[in-house]
A = this chain, B = another copy of it.
């Protein structure tokens, strides 16, 4: 089995990590669109166009399923991708929502990039299921992760700034609606205390169990559309090994 995973950058590697943890034999092709990261600040039309280009690249590798690891792309482009591709397409929004609904006692918080929150993708599904929903964009979390500040005073202060109102409201479940955020899960859990923190990457791996047989050559290939400054370091921080990325220079030009 071949699984294609794409994200706007390196954050989706947390999804790859969760998939690999569950499926040791499958082949995984990852495409990070570092040339055009972040998608979170782009318009919906642009996000859809970029997502189609990423899907096309992975489709050329005969994938059996496409995982959209980017929350922004999952919020805006999933319908278009499903209408275009012939293989199953799994985003991070629906698995995260399903998992949150299985945990909550009635009050759910959702955090993500500005675009993800503005898209209302999580909130509308949760509300449709009858739970009370509070949402908040947390634009500083991604740069904190990329700066390696996964804990410590600055990170705690920023977490407090964004999540204090959730704590005051008394949410019982929080969805981490951005693939970078699992790396802050420890610090967020510590601040929120007795709240269920739902990591969409685990939820995606669970969802794949219905589709994927754990067969293949255990190959992991990483493609990125540009060589960003901190790329190799971030790959090691997230995946725990020095897997060498392939840079698609010609692809950046096509972009």
Total A residues in contact with B, Cβ cutoff 8 Å: 36
**What sequence of 0s and 1s flags, for each residue 114-149 of chain A, a beta carbon within 8 Å of any chain B beta carbon?**
110010000000000000000000011011101101
A226, CB-defined interface residue at 8 Å: yes
Q: Chain B residues near A40 (CB, 8 Å)?
A: 229
Chain B CB within 10 Å — which of A43, A115, A144 has the most? A43
Find out whether the CB atom of B46 lies under 8 angstroms from the CB atom of A42: no
Find out whether the CB atom of A37 lies under 8 angstroms from the CB atom of B46: no
**Residues of chain A whose beta carbon lies under 8 Å from any beta carbon of chain B:** 34-37, 40-43, 45-46, 49, 114-115, 118, 139-140, 142-144, 146-147, 149, 153-154, 157-158, 161, 226-230, 249, 252-253, 255
Between A and B, 24 residue pairs with Cβ closer than 8 Å are A35-B42, A35-B46, A40-B229, A41-B226, A41-B230, A42-B228, A43-B228, A43-B252, A45-B249, A46-B226, A46-B252, A49-B253, A114-B229, A114-B230, A118-B229, A139-B143, A140-B140, A140-B143, A140-B147, A140-B149, A142-B143, A153-B157, A154-B158, A157-B157
Please tell me which one of the listed residues B37, B143, B161, B227 contacts residue A143 in the complex, with CB atoms under 8 A apart.
Answer: B143
Q: Chain B residues near A35 (CB, 8 Å)?
A: 42, 46
On whether A41 and B114 interact (CB within 8 A), knowing A140-B147, A147-B139, the answer reads no
Q: Chain B residues near A230 (CB, 8 Å)?
A: 41, 114
